[in-house]
Amino acid sequence: MKKIAIAAITATSVLALSACSGGDSEVVAETKAGNITKEDLYQTLKDNAGADALNMLVQQKVLDDKYDVSDKEIDKKLNEYKKSMGDQLNQLID
């Protein structure tokens, strides 16, 4: 579950920054060693996590298209897991 959350956050970051990246030299961090621009950040995110983020987005689109599951069904199943697993579920999530 954590991998999906990380991939989703990364994908969102990459997509948000891609909208802003047109050779953008806006400084997003300043250090004594040098500044980091929005373009530097975007390029690093894209290079390091871009393939994983794209893969996650493709999988999500395919699953959304193939399976029609309502929020009510998800909540019902989650509550079943909570009842059957008790505190173990929280330990697994952490």
- Residue spans per domain, the chain: 2-67
Q: CA 85, CA 29: separation in Å to the nearest integer? A: 44
What is the per-residue pLDDT for 26? 94
Q: Pick the more confident residue, 74 or 12.
A: 74
Q: What is the pTM of this model?
A: 0.40
pLDDT in tens, 29-81: 999 999 999 999 999 988 888 888 899 999 999 998 998 888 999 999 988 98
What is the per-residue pLDDT for 7? 63
Q: What separation in angstroms does the CA of 56 have from each of 1, 9, 14, 52, 77?
A: 12, 11, 13, 6, 23
Name the DSSP letter for residue 22: S
Q: Is the pLDDT of residue 82 over 90?
A: no
